[in-house]
């Protein structure tokens, strides 16, 4: 029972995000749904309220690929709400190199920079809360990637959406480890939901989906570890900064893989994201 606690879930109108929001709503939590598409978000909100009987479901329309929009949202949110748990679930896998209005490569803007800015902007609020947690939904795909800070926006060489996504998911693991070191009074974790039958998998990985559709997890199964990390007492007994699958901490590198990066690269990633982040903060109104 998490009545009285407040949760924010990004990408909450479908897939694992919606399944997570629904499970937390069932347990009585106040749930803030952060979604990009107003119509779909409204439908998801009504479904969650109807199925759980929980009226404390709030909707915020934010495009997490737009840094200025995230900053503005976070500033406003901090003045109006409390927050115990942030769940960074929104993500995208765009298979061709697309740029946002700010000239950012779309996968990077959504998966890495958006996650970074939202978390950093809400940290002051989380640090005031009891038993504060940040959970980021990554992917086992990151195991094939070594952190590459020389080309954050994938502008060199052939663009491979699946590999760019995997690189972003590696970056999320590094972010989580770095945050855990720097912010001791918030519990950070990152996780692989397993391969679930979600709209995102169907649209961005059609071949994989066709081949695997009979063995994929349901959305609720994919959300299980997210919910466990968000609500259980056991999760926070484990150290902050770990990577989880099926409620267990698992290694972030495969045996014998050369995916380890030097600490200075990881620190440099944080510096570069902070620079990006401040650039967009400076230009936002007010």
Catalytic residue numbers, as ranges: 165
Give the helix ranges, DSSP H, for 232-262: none
Strand partners, 243: 190
Strands of 30-35's sheet in order across: 57-61, 30-35, 6-10, 85-88, 133-137, 187-191, 242-245, 248-249
User: Residue 131: left if φ>0, alpha if ψ -120 to 50, beta else—which one?
Assistant: left
Q: Judge contact between 131 and 81, C-beta under 8 A.
A: no
For the record, the structure tokens of 36 come out as 């990009």
Dist CA 284 CA 72 (whole Å): 7
Q: Judge contact between 245 and 140, C-beta under 8 A.
A: yes
Residue the block writes with tokens 């700010």: 102
Among 113, 138, 133, smallest CA distance to 123 is for 133
Whole-Å CA distances, 183 to 126, 160, 172, 218, 262: 10, 34, 16, 34, 21
Q: Judge contact between 81 and 3, C-beta under 8 A.
A: no
Q: Is 248 helix (H, G, I), strand (E, B) or coil?
A: strand
Q: Judge contact between 227 and 133, C-beta under 8 A.
A: no
């Amino acid at each position: 029972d998490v009545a009285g606690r407040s949760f924010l879930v990004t990408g909450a109108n479908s897939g694992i995000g919606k399944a997570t929001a629904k499970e937390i709503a069932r347990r009585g939590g106040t749930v803030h749904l952060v979604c990009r598409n107003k119509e779909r978000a409204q439908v998801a909100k009504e479904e969650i309220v109807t199925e759980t009987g929980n009226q404390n479901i709030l909707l915020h329309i934010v495009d997490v690929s737009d840094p200025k929009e995230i900053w503005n949202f976070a500033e406003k949110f901090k003045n109006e709400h409390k927050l115990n748990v942030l769940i960074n679930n929104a993500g995208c896998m765009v298979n061709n190199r697309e740029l946002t209005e700010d000239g950012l490569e779309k996968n990077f803007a959504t998966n890495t920079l958006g996650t970074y800015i939202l978390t950093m902007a809400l940290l002051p609020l989380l640090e005031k809360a009891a038993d504060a947690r940040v959970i980021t939904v990554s992917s086992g795909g990151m195991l094939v990637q070594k952190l590459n800070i020389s080309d954050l926006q994938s502008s060199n060489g052939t663009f491979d959406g699946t590999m760019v996504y995997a690189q972003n998911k590696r970056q999320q693991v590094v972010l989580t480890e770095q945050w855990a070191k720097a912010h001791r009074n918030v519990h950070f974790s990152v996780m692989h939901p397993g391969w679930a039958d979600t709209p995102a998998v169907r649209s961005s990985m059609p071949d994989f989906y066709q081949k695997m559709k009979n063995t994929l997890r349901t959305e609720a199964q994919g959300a299980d570890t997210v919910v466990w990390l968000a609500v259980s007492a056991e999760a926070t007994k484990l150290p902050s900064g770990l990577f989880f699958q099926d409620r267990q901490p698992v290694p972030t590198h495969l045996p014998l893989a050369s995916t380890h990066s030097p600490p200075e690269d990881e620190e440099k990633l944080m510096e570069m994201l902070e620079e990006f982040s401040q650039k967009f903060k400076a230009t936002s109104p007010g």
